Amino acid sequence: MSRLTSDQLLRERKGQLMPTTKHELLDWLMDVPEDAEIGTDGAGLALLAILGTNVHLLEIGHIPNADEIYAEAINQAMLERLRRIDAAGGETETGIIIVTFQGYISGIPRLFSTDFNTAFIFKNREQAEAFITEFADELYNPQIPDYR
């Protein structure tokens, strides 16, 4: 098979593509040479496996609402982490909060709140920093205010 450009791939497409299933992906991978490099085309609508001048192509479709589904999954992961922290307990004289551009980390009833009184109280700075590290890619400008 000869090398195809993204423009050629887009011209060859007919209609809206549906998301690929696990079985279609596994079948395609079985035909891909072991040393091939695998990636997407420029438009992100096809997986390409390239070894020399051989190209194996698997057209894929977008998952409807993928961004919203992903964001909700991350929010649920953060809420679950807050539940585990809360369940572990631990009394503290001074609590630590995290504030982001989205609001205070709250967890009840939503992940973020603009009400300071609903902010989730972390046991100490280390616990709050660990939460920020775990979800760094999903939090917008997380800060731990200094109340000294």
Q: Which residue has the tokens 């423009």?
A: 7
pLDDT classification of 91: cutoffs 50, 70, 90: low
pLDDT at 93: 60
Distance CA 66, CA 68 (A): 6
* Strand pairing category for 99-100 and 103-105: antiparallel
Strands of 33-78, DSSP E: 37-40, 46-51, 54-59
Which residue range is the domain that position 118 belongs to? 66-134
Q: Are residues 107 and 50 in the same domain?
A: no
pLDDT (tens digit, 9 = 90+) per residue, 49-85? 898 888 888 888 777 888 888 888 888 888 888 888 8
Sign of CA dihedral 83, 85, 90, 94: negative
Percent of the chain with pLDDT over 70: 82
pLDDT (tens digit, 9 = 90+) per residue, 105-126? 888 677 888 888 888 888 888 8
Q: Are residues 11 and 36 in the same domain?
A: yes
pLDDT at 133: 92
Last residue of a domain, one of 21, 40, 59: 59
Query: Inter-axis angle of helices 125-134 and 66-88, to 10 degrees?
Result: 160
Q: Looking at the domain assignment, is residue 130 inside a domain?
A: yes
Question: CB neighbours of 104 closer than 8 A, spacing ≥ 6?
Answer: 97, 98, 112, 113, 114, 115, 116, 118, 119, 120
Last residue of a domain, one of 30, 59, 88: 59
* Count of the separate structural domains present in the chain: 2
Distance CA 126, CA 109 (A): 24
pLDDT classification of 96: cutoffs 50, 70, 90: confident
pLDDT at 17: 62
Q: Looking at the domain assignment, is residue 14 inside a domain?
A: yes
pLDDT at 97: 87
